Amino acid sequence: MTHCPFDPHLVALQHTATHCNTLQRTATHCITLHHTATHCNALQRTAMHCSTLQHTATHCNTLQHTATHCNTLQHTTTYCNTYCNILQHAATHCNTLHHTTTHCNTLQHTISRCNTYYNTLHHTASHCIALQHSAILCNTLQHNAIHRNTL
């Protein structure tokens, strides 16, 4: 049996194959987007870690300045030494509370961003799975159509 170049079955099969190829490219793009999102999340964690280290360095410089000032006062009088120690303890306690509060706020913000990111990834993954199933179905239809035409 000879097929005409404009056989409706061949045209339908070609359309199905083209559609299947498009779905495969879409699924591949979706996987690439997932990898990009994962990389972006790692970069965000690195940036937040860098910001924390920068805050710690600034805090350390402040404490060093405070310690230098206390040493000067300590050499001046015993009374100033005692007073400076009390102030230093209070400042350290205050700084610890401030740092803990900042860290807690950062964690709350991070958890919020993680929840948003998880919801986005979950939606994207569901979409990718659906596209992959469609691509498999297209491949099966294409294979069956080709097999039927060769018989």
pLDDT in tens, 106-141: 878 877 886 787 787 778 778 878 878 888 888 888
Question: What is the tens place of the pLDDT at every residue in 32-81?
Answer: 878 887 887 887 887 787 788 788 778 778 878 877 876 776 666 666 55
pTM of the complete model beyond 0.85: no
Task: Check if the beta carbon of residue 80 is closer than 8 Å to that of residue 73.
Answer: yes
Q: What angle do CA 133, 134, 139 make, to 5 degrees?
A: 100
Q: Residue 107 and residue 49: Cα distance in Å, rounded?
A: 12
3-state secondary structure of 58: helix
